[in-house]
Structure formats: C-alpha cells, structure tokens
C-alpha cells in the first residue's frame, strides 16, 4: 500500500524505462532473422531492389522461401530475380514461379536453396523491375511476405514480412 498518495503512480511510471530495457534485453537473445530491403529509385530504364538477410550468428537458415506481390505500376519478369552475393557464396540459387497465372496483381513465390551451407548475412536476391504505368510520383510498395526459412536441423524459421519501397528520380 502506498503511504504517500499520488507518488505511487509516479514511482511506477519512473520504473517503466527500466522494465522496458529489461524486456528488450531478454528478447534480443531470441535471435530473430529478418529480411531488409533498402529503398530503391526507379529511373528511365527501371531499377533494382535488393533483399538482405540479417540473422544472428549460428541461426542462419540454409534455405528460404518468400512471396512477393507486384503492383500494377511495375513489371517484373521471373528471370529478373537473381541470387545475391551472400546466397551465391553459400552455393544457393533462386527460382520463382507465379502463384496463379491470372492473379491480379501478380504474386510470385521464390525459393532460395542449394546445398547444406547456411546463408550468411548480406544480399540474398536482387529484383530488376521496370515501370508498367505512370504511378504519378507516389512511392510504389512491393509486399514481401509468407517468409519461411529452414535451419540446418530442418526446423521451420518464421520471418516477418517486409516490403520494397520504390521512389522516382
């Protein structure tokens, strides 16, 4: 029970940053993998966005699968999705296929796999794109979701969705 009326709530509030720091330190050790996509600029000849893997030591996946949805303002050909340097260095290759041939907007599933080496942090894939229509200057977002990794022990690794943001020169 609080003897100094009004100060108990204040005391609890002042402890909040300490509690949050403790919780963040506790969850930091869980080792979540993420995919990161820096923003990209669309020029007259199109552009490229790159997908990067960020994974804690000894937690790197040996294979990845993800989906991406192409908005109407962009055109992406399956053959323009290439393995990045980190993936190639681990002996991986990437293959993509449409989810449904007539889907609007187009949605693709990509698998990055090959061999048993873990995929190190770095560029895992690059995607070349061109403008299919004039978006009127607004940024274009390519959703990258349904991301699944596989560990060396064949355990499923869930990875949060991300997106590529494309702006114009």
Nearest to 49 by CA among 146, 147, 144: 144
Distance of alpha carbon 149 from alpha carbon 32, whole angstroms = 11
pLDDT digits (tens, 9 = 90+) for 105-115: 889 999 999 99
Same domain, 115 and 149: yes
Nearest to 119 by CA among 60, 64, 54, 160: 60
Same domain, 55 and 107: yes
Residue 25: pLDDT above 80?
Answer: no
Question: What are residue 67's DSSP bridge partners?
Answer: 109, 145
Domain count, the chain: 2
Confidence of residue 7 (pLDDT cuts 50, 70, 90): very low
Nearest to 150 by CA among 38, 41, 61, 35: 61
Same domain, 117 and 161: yes
Residue 35: pLDDT above 70?
Answer: yes
Question: What are residue 46's DSSP bridge partners?
Answer: 43
Domain that holds residue 112: 34-168
Three-class DSSP category at 140? strand
């Amino acid at each position: 029970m609080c003897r100094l009326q009004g100060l108990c709530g204040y005391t609890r509030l002042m402890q909040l940053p300490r509690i949050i720091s403790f919780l963040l330190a506790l969850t930091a050790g869980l080792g979540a993998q993420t995919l990161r996509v820096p923003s990209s600029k669309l020029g007259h000849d199109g552009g490229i966005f790159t997908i990067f893997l960020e994974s804690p030591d000894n937690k790197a996946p040996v294979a990845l699968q993800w989906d991406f949805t192409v908005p109407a303002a962009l055109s992406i050909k399956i053959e323009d999705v290439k393995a990045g340097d980190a993936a190639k260095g681990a002996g991986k290759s990437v293959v993509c296929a449409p989810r449904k041939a007539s889907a609007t907007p187009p949605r693709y599933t990509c698998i990055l796999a090959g061999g048993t080496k873990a995929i190190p942090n770095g560029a895992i894939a690059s995607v070349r794109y061109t403008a299919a229509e004039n978006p009127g200057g607004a940024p274009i977002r390519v959703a990258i979701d349904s991301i699944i990794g596989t560990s060396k022990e064949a355990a499923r690794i869930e990875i949060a969705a991300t997106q590529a943001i494309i702006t114009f020169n």
